A and B are shown apart, each in its own frame.
Chain A
Amino acid sequence: MENVLSILFCLSLLYLALTSRVKHCVNVLQAQGIILAVINTLPLFHHFTLGEIILPAALLGIKGVLIPFYIRKIITDLDIKDPIEPTIQQFTFIMLVITLMSAVFVASGILAKSTEINIIPFASGFSAIITGILVIIFRKKLLVHVMGFLAMENGIFLFGSAIAFKLPVIIELGMLLDIFVVVFLMGIALNKISTTLSGFEAAQLRRLKD
């Protein structure tokens, strides 16, 4: 079941790489948050503890509801245009994503021989990190950079469920809070930038120096 959800997660990543609309990106992130929440609920079916339900609940709350809601609010508030402007051709971009994803899968296949990892979630998480970084590199809009960052964070969470040893819940919760604060700060920063600069493109940030 975890594998099936990981496949869905990977498909959502592909869509994130492909889509040319900011709104679709938000939807994808929301879907990813829900998938993550479900993945983290799965172990509870075998062994239920009240303490461990906090993490999936928090995931669902923050990643599935709060952050998408907040980003949508930023989009309407700042009147950000829907199309995403890529800096390279979509074709090349997708090829790049697919190639790196394949490399990640092959690498984790090799890694799995020596260490105790669950290949599919591990590789999916890793691909999410790489896709997030690629999105940040090859997109112009600042808001999309935030989304790339969020995809990366999602990947890290998936990563966590793939490795054998368990992180304490409190650390994962701390990470979640961290992300939320980062996104919140980004929103405030964007608000500030919008008052000084007209666009939201990374290239224009260069003008901010000094």
Chain B
Amino acid sequence: MFSLRDMFFISMLIQAASILAPVFIGGQRRASALAHITLVAGLITGFISSFLAVFFPMAHTVGTGFFGLPPEYFRFDPLALYFLCVVQAVAIPTAVFSYSYLEHYIGEGRSVKSLYVFFAGMLIATQMVVTINHAIVFLVFWEATSMSAYLGMIFEKEKKEVQKGSFYYFVMNHVVIFLLYIFFFILHRQTGSWLLSDFRVVTGNSGLTALLFLLALAAFGMKAGFMPFHFWLPRAHPIAPSTISAFLSGIIIKLGIYGLFRAFQILSPAPLWIGWLVLVVSMITAIFGVWYALAQHDIKKLLAYHSVENIGIIGIGMGIGFIGSAYANIPMQILGFGGALLHVLNHAVFKSLLFLGSGVINNNLGTRNIELMGGIVHKAGFFVFLFLTGSVAICGIPPLNGFVSEFIIFNSFFTAARELKEYYPLMMLVSAVGLAFVGGLAVACFTKINAIMFLGTQRGETKPFHVSAYDYISLGVLALLCVVIGFCPVPFINAVNNVVSGIVPQGGAELLNINWLYITVIFTLFSAVALAMYFISKAMRKKFGFRESDAWCCGYNRLGPRMQYTASSFADQINDIARAPLGYHKKGRAGEGIFPPSSGFESHSADLVDNRIIVPGYKKFISLMSAIRLPGNTDIRYYVAYILIMIIVYSVVGFLWH
């Protein structure tokens, strides 16, 4: 019997082998098929072992393994295994989807080999990141993940927007890695070890702990996309190929969350103000993320802002956990971290579902502008049903999985109010209201995109809508996961509880004490009643008659597609409420007179952080840097020479320092 460690390596080897296929096989289609089969096989191998390890923690052994690598370089603790399991669970459907997605590009006559290689590289590097225990190797794979995502992102590099959008991602990644270097070097100096599991801070050194926490928050928070650092998400996601952006949004931003958990393990207990900082920032992130999303017309940009929102929700859970750790309060930590961890899984599942769905739409209609869509439900009903499942889940409304994790987070608020008394009931109430407000806005946003994209009739030119079997498989698996976690959360709660007891060593049964059975029963009841009513009304329709007719339009009978409500109008009322903070402005011209000229209405929302801080800051930085004039400003060879000089300077300084 293989141990977990062996299975992991075998799976990694199979996945790595899949990269060879496009290198050695000439035919695009054959290479793609072989590569994907190998990749999925490798992923499934890995998934089975990590799944067993997460859901049946008693039955597995990590083992030492017979591969020659030093065993301490890898860390298969519950947290790593949980993230590994999430990564693989999402990677499998994404890989299946990738096959039919690449078919589309092959049909256009493009060479897709590079995209495949970077995609597979991204998957492999991500799986390594969550299991690596050595700081330097961690950084290497971290960089590999980011860069393969970047290289995949610039697949359509001839487009101007792709060059521009990906650049922000590129810069962001380098700032993150720079901060991480500092973070790990400080920790290394403290402990003298390079292993993540050995990192500790001397207790009592609160200044250093605070500094390290801030570094970790800045670095991992930037990767995750917390509010002031979220600017790269809405730029990078729309331009990336859908497989990349699904994985980017579903998993790679979660690496930031993984990093925060690891940082917490190293630095715990967190100071109280860090907890509050995380909670407040997350709340702002969640509310404004979803509100900015509401004003978007580009489906992928909208989904990117929703990733910001969901990172905010995860952050709220973590914030409660941090506050709990500052008070050494076990139930708060368990519920807060538990809610955050479960939401990591949930968001990974439904966000990949939605991004892959947007990829299908984009391929068929050739546009990402939702104002030009409509009526897809009449062409691909089941596809719409799957997308709708993801939408219901992401809104956090029953009976799907989004509700379960938000329910845990709400419970953590209640627990915090009960345990910490004083002003906490008030603060927690405000947090609960904030989360409820986010839920309401998410409902508005997802009714908007589902309604405008799928319902009614097609607004732009009519095109056939084709969804391949592979698309259905990958979307179906993800949608099924949403349903399963929603209706039957107990095994997932058990798994999360196991992970949390690795983070909060004292442990407790708060997560298990929630009446999950009630949730299951009520959801089943709810679906049963709904289905029963559906069939009753169907039977009654048969009995009392049924016919179709034109929609009521005050007697006017030429209702055209362009007369339908648009996304801008739908969202206008909500965005109008807070014009200033959203940077929401609209232009309208109404026709007057007997023969009015054409009239129109358009609305835009400018991201305040983006418009006021990032872009001007970037421009100022550029102008500052271009003020520095060195000889050979345009020749790359001079730059290489400068790098050499810098290395010498650093070495001399370092030598003299010792």
Contacts and interface: CB of A to CB of B under 8 A. Distances in A.
Interface of A: 88-89, 91-92, 106, 109
Contacts of B579: 89
B518 interface: no
A106 B578 contact: no
A92 B581 contact: yes
B636 interface: no
A88 B580 contact: yes
A92 B584 CA distance: 13
B577 interface: yes
Interface of B: 423, 577-581
Contacts of B577: 89, 91
A92 B423 contact: no
A92 B580 CA distance: 8
A20 B434 CA distance: 27
A91 B579 CA distance: 9
A69 to B, nearest CB: 37
Given A89-B580, A91-B577, 7 more contacts: A88-B580, A89-B578, A89-B579, A91-B578, A92-B578, A92-B580, A106-B423
Contacts of A109: 423
A118 B578 CA distance: 36
Contacts of A89: 577-580
12 contacts: A88-B580, A89-B577, A89-B578, A89-B579, A89-B580, A91-B577, A91-B578, A92-B578, A92-B580, A92-B581, A106-B423, A109-B423
Contacts of B578: 89, 91-92
A89 B577 CA distance: 8
The 9 closest A-B pairs by CB, nearest first: A91-B577, A92-B580, A91-B578, A89-B579, A89-B580, A88-B580, A92-B578, A92-B581, A89-B578
A92 B578 CA distance: 7
Nearest to A89: B579
A106 B424 CA distance: 12
Q: Which of A88, A89, A109 has the most chain B CB atoms inside 10 A of its CB?
A: A89
Most buried by B among A88, A92, A109: A92
Contacts of A106: 423
Contacts of B423: 106, 109
Contacts of B581: 92
Q: Is the interface of B mostly helix, strand, loop or mixed?
A: helix
B342 to A, nearest CB: 32
A109 B422 CA distance: 11
Nearest to B577: A91
A89 B578 CA distance: 8
A181 to B, nearest CB: 38
Nearest to B430: A102
A139 to B, nearest CB: 17
A106 B422 CA distance: 12
A91 B423 CA distance: 26
B251 to A, nearest CB: 36
A90 B578 CA distance: 9
A106 B581 CA distance: 25
B423 to A, nearest CB: 7
A88 B423 CA distance: 32
Nearest to B580: A92
A92 B581 CA distance: 8
Contacts of B580: 88-89, 92
Most chain B beta-carbon neighbours within 10 Å: one of A88, A91, A106, A109: A91
Contacts of A92: 578, 580-581
Contacts of A91: 577-578
Nearest to B579: A89
Contacts of A88: 580
A89 B583 CA distance: 13
Nearest to A106: B423
A33 B57 CA distance: 70
B4 to A, nearest CB: 51
A92 B423 CA distance: 26
Nearest to A105: B426
A88 B445 CA distance: 26
A87 to B, nearest CB: 11
Nearest to A109: B423
Nearest to B427: A106
B105 to A, nearest CB: 46
A91 B578 CA distance: 7
Nearest to A91: B577
A88 B580 CA distance: 8
A109 B581 CA distance: 30
A47 to B, nearest CB: 36
A14 to B, nearest CB: 17
A102 B423 CA distance: 12
A33 to B, nearest CB: 31
A89 B584 CA distance: 12
B501 to A, nearest CB: 36
A109 B580 CA distance: 32
A88 B579 CA distance: 10
Nearest to A88: B580
A91 B581 CA distance: 11
A91 B580 CA distance: 10
Nearest to A95: B578
B430 to A, nearest CB: 9
A89 B576 CA distance: 9
B240 to A, nearest CB: 35
A113 B226 CA distance: 37
B87 to A, nearest CB: 40
B426 to A, nearest CB: 9
A131 B391 CA distance: 42
A134 to B, nearest CB: 15
A109 B579 CA distance: 33
A106 B577 CA distance: 27
B441 to A, nearest CB: 14
A188 B581 CA distance: 40
A75 B423 CA distance: 45
B521 to A, nearest CB: 40
B431 to A, nearest CB: 14
A185 B423 CA distance: 46
A91 B577 CA distance: 6
Nearest to A110: B423
Nearest to B581: A92
A88 B577 CA distance: 11
A106 B430 CA distance: 14
A206 to B, nearest CB: 24
A173 to B, nearest CB: 39
A109 B426 CA distance: 13
A119 B579 CA distance: 35
A89 B582 CA distance: 12
B280 to A, nearest CB: 13
A137 to B, nearest CB: 15
A86 to B, nearest CB: 12
A119 to B, nearest CB: 13
A42 to B, nearest CB: 28
A92 B577 CA distance: 8
A194 to B, nearest CB: 33
